[in-house]
Amino acid sequence: MKNPWIRLVLSVVVSFLILWFLFLLIYDEQNPIGFSDVVTILDDVSPAVFLMFFVIHLCGVLLRTFRFRFLIRAADAGVVPSLTPLFLVTLVRNMTVDMLPARVGELFYVGLLNRGLGVRLPACFSSLAISVWFDIMVIIPLVFALILYPILDAGMQTRLFVIAAVLVAVCVVGLLLLHPGLAIIARWLERFSGSDSKLFNALQKFVGQFAESVRRSLTRQTIVKIFLLTVGVRVCKYSSIALLFSGIASAGFPQLVGVDPGSIVIGLLASEAGASLPIPAFMSFGTYEAGGLAAFAMLGLPTASAGLALFTIHIVTQLVDYTLGGIAFILFLLITGMTLSGMRNVQDGEGGSVNQ
């Protein structure tokens, strides 16, 4: 399906159908709350809540930017972007990661970094891959901690244990693929060096450089710093959305006032999992709400209020991410002089002028 307009229409239809089904599923005749109430609820939320959410959100973006820059420098990328353009790239990445299903939008980070800032392609992919791995890995101790949460019944604890086991398996496999897996593949490809195929030779060179970038990045000196930065990113993310959840609950959902932070985090984790599914949903609408709603329902929260609260939170977070990401993308193009057509092909070069 090459036509982007057809993909857009399809994603909107998929999101609409999922949300429509969820709304029918959770509708409560005794306490009717409709999507039309969202504007009223948002209007009743204290401006201080939105301001605090925004500040904490930006702190998380800044920490993520520091992590990207640290990994790029550790990979010996040749060109290490300054903080300002890389901060813009991170904002664009936050926008596009929700724009496309299954986190395909992460590749925008690679394109902007390589074509706009001249960072070598292996370093782009290594910084992205290691960041994603740490993002998953740092959730594992959180999930294990939630298993011991006193309000959870045995069924919910079992589900969380299964989730933790899956995350552990994913992290182990991912780490083995990154190191030493890439190095092993690179050595295997070297056996066929001297091939007449330019494509094969380029692949062999890229895998070797990718493996070397990962090896340089995953040293004892760097792992602790990456881990701490990742913890900071997650703390900012969950605390900002938990704050927003509490503010929205106070404004329009009295049944959700006083929900404990652990339950909120469980719902947010489930929402993230739902949004990451390879379903062509528009801006993850529908899949995000479905994941969180399933968790909240198992926790015994009123589904009608919880579902609409998640939808309201999703609107706010997407509005912030798309506004900041859109502005950042325009500024990035102006600063770097990169054109939209320049994103279609990546290069393993030294280009880019914003590296001071």
Q: What is the pLDDT, as a whole number, of residue 351?
A: 42
Report the C-alpha gap between 94 and 97 in whole angstroms: 6
Total count of domains within the chain: 1
Question: Hey, what amino acid is at 190?
Answer: E
Would residue 215 count as lying in a domain? Answer: yes
Q: What is the pLDDT, as a whole number, of residue 343?
A: 60
Note down the domain range covering 277. Answer: 37-340
Average pLDDT value for residue range 294-311: 90
Would residue 121 count as lying in a domain? Answer: yes
Would residue 21 count as lying in a domain? Answer: no
| Residue 347, pLDDT above cutoff 60 | no
Q: What is the mean pLDDT of the chain?
A: 88
Would residue 354 count as lying in a domain? Answer: no
- Comparing 20 with 47, the larger pLDDT belongs to 47
Q: What is the pLDDT, as a whole number, of residue 8?
A: 75
Would residue 26 count as lying in a domain? Answer: no
Would residue 351 count as lying in a domain? Answer: no
Report the C-alpha gap between 93 and 77 in whole angstroms: 20
Q: What is the pLDDT, as a whole number, of residue 103?
A: 73
Residue 315 exposed, middle or buried by CB count within 10 Å (0-12, 13-18, 19+): middle
| Residue 184, pLDDT above cutoff 60 | yes
| Residue 4, pLDDT above cutoff 70 | no
Q: What is the pLDDT, as a whole number, of residue 276?
A: 83
Q: What is the pLDDT, as a whole number, of residue 258?
A: 87
Would residue 192 count as lying in a domain? Answer: yes
Report the C-alpha gap between 147 and 227 in whole angstroms: 22
Q: What is the pLDDT, as a whole number, of residue 3?
A: 66
Nearest one of 134, 136, 160 to 146, comparing CA atoms: 160
Pick the range with the lowest mean pLDDT from 31-45, 101-115, 154-168, 255-269. 31-45
Would residue 154 count as lying in a domain? Answer: yes
Q: What is the pLDDT, as a whole number, of residue 353?
A: 38
- Comparing 261 with 36, the larger pLDDT belongs to 261
| Residue 238, pLDDT above cutoff 70 | yes
- Comparing 240 with 9, the larger pLDDT belongs to 240
Report the C-alpha gap between 275 and 291 in whole angstroms: 8
Q: What is the pLDDT, as a whole number, of residue 141?
A: 94
| Residue 352, pLDDT above cutoff 50 | no
| Residue 253, pLDDT above cutoff 70 | yes
Q: What is the pLDDT, as a whole number, of residue 210?
A: 96
Average pLDDT value for residue range 238-248: 95
Average pLDDT value for residue range 263-274: 91
Average pLDDT value for residue range 136-159: 88
Confidence class for position 26, pLDDT limits 50, 70, 90? confident
Residues 6+ apart with CB under 8 A from 134: 67, 226, 227, 230
Average pLDDT value for residue range 314-341: 91
Confidence class for position 356, pLDDT limits 50, 70, 90? very low
**Buried b / exposed e across 67-84, counting CB within 10 Å, b at 16+?**
bbbbbbbbbebebbbeee
| Residue 10, pLDDT above cutoff 80 | yes
Average pLDDT value for residue range 47-66: 98
Average pLDDT value for residue range 91-99: 90
Confidence class for position 338, pLDDT limits 50, 70, 90? confident
Give the length of the chain: 356
3-state helix, strand, coil in the chain (%, to 5): 80, 0, 20
Q: What is the pLDDT, as a whole number, of residue 31?
A: 60
